[in-house]
Amino acid sequence: TKKCKASVNSNMIDGRMANPHAAFHERQAIAGRATPFLGGGAMTVTIYHNPRCSKSRTTLALLQSRGIEPAIRLYLDEPPSAARLDEILKLLDLEPRALMRRQEPPYKEAGLDDPALTRKQLIAAMVQHPILIERPIVVVEKRGHKKAALGRPPEAALDIL
């Protein structure tokens, strides 16, 4: 386990994290809490996050610097469902391959470059191998309307706020 500087004692055992991702999971607990919207009202913000990815960390920090505490989904540990991923793709106005990390080994190993594969098959592959999902993805919901952005560059996430 990793040492943690967090002051949250519930996840600490002898000064060590009981779960190295505990800080991220604790932030998930606020998923239902609305964040003040820059234009008034309230919104819910979710980031599909990989803490090992610099773009993902930068996007999260950028949101937090604006006073937004998003629900953090560690998608490598808990991939989105096929239905949720399909919804995100529609919000992004992208086809599955445009959101796939094609340099990852599972892409070639599973033959995902085959043009005969359907949207449903590609989404299923992304759920089965979440490392294939480009990150970070930020989803914002306000008054029942949803928007999504790929945080590449990280500032792109600010466009949907």
- Residues marked as catalytic: 53
Q: What is the 3-state secondary structure of the chain?
A: CCECCCCCHHHEECCEECCCCHHHHHHHCCCCCCEECCCCCEEEEEEEECCCCHHHHHHHHHHHHCCCCCEEEECCCCCCCHHHHHHHHHHHCCCHHHHECCCCHHHHHCCCCCCCCCHHHHHHHHHHCHHHECCCEEEEEECCEEEEEECCCHHHHHHHC
Whether residue 63 contacts residue 138, with contact meaning beta carbons closer than 8 Å, is answered with yes
Cis-peptide, bond into residue 136, ω within 30° of zero: yes
